[in-house]
Structure 1
Amino acid sequence: MTELTGYQHGLVLGKFYPPHAGHHHLVRTAKERCARLTVLVCAASVESVPLADRVRWMREVHPDVTVVGAVDDVPMDLGDPDIWDAHMAVFRSAVPERVDAVFSSEAYGAELGRRFGAASECVDPGRTAYPVSATAVRKDPVGCWEFLSPPVRAALTRRVVVVGAESTGTTTLARALAEHYRRRGGIWASTGCVPEYGREFSEEKLAELRRARPWAHWSEVTFGTDDFPLIAQRQNELEERAARLGSPVLFCDTDSFATTVWHERYLGGRNPRVEEIADRVDHQLWLLTDHTGVPFEDDGLRDGEELRPWMTDRFRAELTRTGRRFLTMSGPPATRLAAAVEAVDDLLGRGWDFAPPLPERR
């Protein structure tokens, strides 16, 4: 015991499948009462959110506590002493040091404290501070969005990418989609649209030439194979930041996968480093803007009007080859937007596929 904090070493235990504001309230309350606090994240093998992700999320939100993880495939039965013993073997293996207090919002908290030989502290069992549960989040992430921390939001956000050849309306469609969902209000008001970093990179390339020769033209800009991993990585970073701050859907004006095709367009071959970076991010839907019927507009950073049919075909071929789900957007802007909204609404309507946790025996 310590006079200032109450307990020397406290423990918070849970599945955090996924973590939410109620969990974070429990951890912060416990930390205020303890000189040291350990958070033990227990995950079953059948669950669809990896243990490593849950541990990482909790560490990010609570950098001042010790977060450890354990695989616990023992089904729960609060009335079976043998089941309790099996759980405790997992818990004590993960947290071997002495525990002075166990903090919980669950009914099993008292027995857990007794088995650790520790005090049991009950925190907000009625969920009045944050009316949410992991079960509710798994059932309806959208309805619980306000209770999710940035890393969990980023993991659950449905990411929709608009890709296409030069001057085929990708930016117009991506921005229109974001605005459409923002108008729905509530949590949707923060719907984001991630800009194309490759364009910013290209603008800087041209500006660098013009600092030496103010009359330099876009056709003089050259790219090296090492430029594209940088573009792809930066695109991923921008997207991740936006997903942490936005609504349950995020629109991306191109992505790191598209960078693989742009590398081919400018350098005539593939780059495995770009492809590896592209595979790090999970997207749910691609919208491919068709070049047919769309006038080519030279905005000072474009010179490939004759390549648009080839690029459209390359995007379609690569999306198909890699098994990415995509739809082709054709027709005037209003028609494209209507078709895109229908596709995105269908995506959101499918929900989030959380595997059920191990059932509790009764």
Structure 2
Amino acid sequence: MDALAARPAPATGGRGVTPRPARGFVLGKFMPPHNGHVFLCDFGRAYCERLTILVCSLPDDPIPGRLRHEWMQALFPDCDVRWCEEDLPQEPADHPDFWAIWKDVVHRYGGAPDVVFASESYGLRLAQEVGARFAPVDPDRIAVPMSGTAVRENPFACWDALPAPVRPWFVKRLCLFGPESTGKSTLAARLADRFGTISVPEYGRTYTEMFGGEVGVEDLHHIVAGHRAAVAAASRQARRILIEDTDPVLTSVWCEMLTGRRDPALDAFDQLADHYLLLDVRAPWTDDGTRYFPDLADRQRFLSLCIEALERRGASWTLIEGADWAAREAQAVAAALAAFPGLAEISPPPPRP
């Protein structure tokens, strides 16, 4: 469970402390939830006995309301987290009965709260409308200077303000792609170090080291399932970008190289990485005893199939070429910065000792 979700419930007072109100209410878009929202809701949890959190969404919101509701449920499992997807007025000027409409919303989703919590000025009027007390929470953004707008405009710069369940939505995926012995695994590790994130190792190697090198189509399907699971798990721990050492698209190329035909199920994979680095075959071949297709003609055919697979899917990709490993790494870093401009604003982590 995420550390935020696992934190203990707030203490329930002591001598000389006024009894806590029974019911509190918070509403918001939480688009996305950030640490300012966490502070707001934790304030409410500590202030009252039972907190209702209402996630409001509209059909054209850039982040689906259902997902935001799931995030808030994960972050606040001890609260009553509701979801309102009604098309409601957003400002008093939008409808003459604006406050009456929202009063009804509060009563339908939150009952009759004793306290309304908000960081915005609307909270006072809303509390008055529903007959509740108003508790302002960090209205000047001193405790947590963050906003949903800032996150949406530059999520990389706001990364540390994003709770773990939210981060996978904003993670960008960079995939190392190409034939055997082109430096994918080494480069994946170096890029992960350079950008202070983690890399997903090649699941095909994990699989064949466990079960042997004779691989059929069914094995390739298991490899794809393992890779997808690894990406889902790693996305919660990645910082800004996730480096992938191969992906299911490359597995489909492997299928064609090994069997001489394409597999419809593998070809149907459409969860593409945000950018691919295609490594050419001019790097020297290294035989580690497990690699396939050492012949240069086979390697060139493999590379051609890689290009076809990326082009057929409309993927974004950059060719990394040359025989010099340092030059290839420099090309890869430059390509990553070009594909994800927000990375350029983030200082690289200090080198590991």
Shared fold per TM-score greater than 0.5: yes
Q: Given the alignment, which residue of 245, 253, 266 partners 1:253? A: 245
Looking at structure 2, the residues matched to 53 and 328 of structure 1 have their Cα atoms a distance apart, in angstroms, of 35
- Does structure 1 retain, via aligned residues, the 8 Å contact 2:156–2:342? no
Instruction: Give how far 1:108 is off.
Output: 0.8
Q: Given the alignment, which residue of 43, 49, 52 partners 2:66? A: 52
Task: Give runs of aligned pairs for residues 1-362 of structure 1, distance below 5 A.
Answer: 6-78=20-92, 81-93=96-108, 95=109, 97-181=111-195, 190-206=196-212, 221-274=213-266, 278-279=269-270, 281=271, 283-291=273-281, 293-306=282-295, 307-331=298-322, 332-349=324-341
Q: 1:31 to 1:322 in 2, by over 3 A?
A: same
- Does structure 2 retain, via aligned residues, the 8 Å contact 1:38–1:66? yes
Looking at structure 2, the residues matched to 273 and 115 of structure 1 have their Cα atoms a distance apart, in angstroms, of 56
Instruction: Give how far 1:55 is off.
Output: 1.3
Q: Which SS does the other structure have where 1:286 is aligned?
A: strand
Looking at structure 2, the residues matched to 227 and 44 of structure 1 have their Cα atoms a distance apart, in angstroms, of 43
Structure 1 unaligned runs (5+)? 182-189, 207-220, 352-362
- Does structure 2 retain, via aligned residues, the 8 Å contact 1:165–1:311? yes
TM-score (norm 1): 0.80
- Does structure 2 retain, via aligned residues, the 8 Å contact 1:173–1:333? no
Looking at structure 1, the residues matched to 125 and 96 of structure 2 have their Cα atoms a distance apart, in angstroms, of 11
Deviations 1:274-322 (A, max 9, x none): 456x43x45210011111x222222121132233222211111111111
Q: 1:81 to 1:109 in 2, by over 3 A?
A: farther
Number of equivalenced pairs: 323
RCO higher in 1 or 2 (8 Å CA, sep ≥ 6)?
1
AA at the equivalent of 1:344: A
Coordinate RMSD, CA, aligned: 2.5
Looking at structure 1, the residues matched to 180 and 29 of structure 2 have their Cα atoms a distance apart, in angstroms, of 47
Looking at structure 1, the residues matched to 263 and 157 of structure 2 have their Cα atoms a distance apart, in angstroms, of 41
